[in-house]
Amino acid sequence: MRSNPRLTLLSDEDRSELTGVLTRVEAAQEALAAAEAEQTRALAEAGAFAARLAEGSSVVVRDRDMALRGVAAEIAAAVRLSDRSVQRQIDSAFALVNDYPATVHCLEKGLITRAHVAVVEDVGRRLPIELKGEFDQLAAEICLDETPGRARADLEIIAERMHPRSLTERHGEAFRQRKIVRYSIGEGMSELRSVHSTVLIEGIFQRVTDQANEVIAAREPGSGDTRSLDEVRADLFTDMLLTSTPAIDPTGDQPGGLGAITAKVQVVIPVMALMGQSDVPCDLAGVGPIDAKTARLLAGNSHGTWERLLTHPITGLTMAVDTYQRTKPMDRFLKGRDKHCRWPGCRMPARKCEVDHNHDAALGGKTEICNLCCLCQRHHSMKQFTAWKVRQLPGGVMEWTSPTGRIHIDNPPGHGVHFTPEEDLPDDLWAKWTNPGLEFRITDEPADNPHEPAPF
């Protein structure tokens, strides 16, 4: 497919027009952020005013609530909102201004958006009050360089590592609450909801999605099957639960059929956690934190569903990659390094991405790690058919140039979050992959026996 020269080579007139539009959008975004910060501060002051009205009362809780209701009603009538809604906004603003001052300051200066603030609030909610100040400083710094989606992933890991109770401990308690519940939603339909371990739910969802895509791809022309991806997923999910395996396999005589399709889930494991010397949270790529105990179990699992990424405990950079399914080593390394699409701000997991030659192979680009990265289908197409350009800098850093000439840097995941270990790490700590059975070992000295089992 040929690209349209009008899209890949903007004229000076087109570039000037786009630059003007971009400048207006940026100015509007900055003004909007400043206005939202001002409104947040005003609502927080309304909360403080209500609290002062109740000072000295013998029934402070009741009087403060009544004072807050009265202030909320005053504001609600003026801005044509319900008083309950305004009261919730006052409570949220009061907590935001007092617990996350650095984040509010960044919003006020137009450096971040309200969506970033919502992420900081949501993730920080799980931390005790005495840790929110430190979290606020880290969160504001991360939000300056990342989209809300990418910032959430980093902040969730930070929050889990800051929490006074380990994720392993809290997960053990939460795991006792797993269940399945059903809800009637009318029109002869019901909803089935499962509460279970994140890694298992992610595995289930990825497997049924892969199978649904296979069903859709196997449709015969004129078959009359017009089901959407959601509909096919729901049908397969029900079929597997009621029959254990799909009763009807539309993939015909293809080897394995639907039953052979399994989920591919990528687990990021800091080396000290894998060695059992730390319970720091691990990362289910594209989803969020999981406890170290579960990650260690997955690391020792011999099934082909899970892919393990071993990361440096300080920098977070990928040290080594392993998969029980035999794939090309280069692709394995790229998925381990990139973890997600390398377009600025995109969080599409690397397992769902295509591998792109940064310098087009048709134009002489080499098939080397330093010229390859993971891009999702949407952004791979944009790189090919629009005026966006990319080149890879040392260390896997991607330098994107927009049609207006602006430079956007995308660092490999792991560069943004650094931690100090509780104990000094040996200088010669290393990870080694052994060929027999693709078994993984970690030692601080090379082992004489290449068949020595892993320490987990």
pLDDT in tens, 298-336: 666 535 555 555 565 555 555 455 543 324 677 888 888
Kindly write down the DSSP assignment for every residue of 339-356, as one continuous string: SB--STT---BGGGSEEE
Give the confidence band of 287 by pLDDT, cuts at 50, 70, 90. Answer: low
- The reply to whether the predicted model has a pTM over 0.85 is no
* Nearest residue to 101 (alpha-carbon basis) of 78, 84, 83, 117: 117
Residue that wins the pLDDT comparison between 246 and 208: 208
**pLDDT, the chain, mean:** 79
431-447 pLDDT, tens digit per residue, is: 333 333 333 333 344 44
The mean per-residue pLDDT over the stretch 413-438 comes to 44
* Rounded Cα distance, 100 and 116, in Å: 12
* Rounded Cα distance, 306 and 159, in Å: 25
Instruction: Kindly compute the dihedral angle of the four CA atoms of residues 276, 278, 281, 282, in this order, to the nearest 10 degrees.
Output: -40
Poorest-pLDDT segment among 11-25, 155-169, 360-374, 439-453: 439-453
Give the list of residues 6+ apart from residue 164 with CB closer than 8 angstroms, or none: 128, 131
DSSP 8-state symbol, 258:
G
14-67 pLDDT, tens digit per residue, is: 889 999 999 999 999 999 999 999 999 999 999 999 888 878 766 666 778 888
The mean per-residue pLDDT over the stretch 244-267 comes to 54
- Cα angle for residues 140, 146, 150 (degrees, 5° grid): 105
* pLDDT confidence of residue 343: 92
* Rounded Cα distance, 210 and 450, in Å: 36
- Stated as kind and residue range, the H or E segment containing 337 is helix 329-338
* pLDDT confidence of residue 433: 33
The mean per-residue pLDDT over the stretch 95-105 comes to 95
- The dihedral region occupied by 119, where left means phi > 0, alpha psi between -120 and 50, and beta the remainder, is alpha
Given a cut of 60, is residue 450 above it in pLDDT?
A: no
User: Quick check: 290 and 313 in contact, CB under 8 A?
Assistant: no
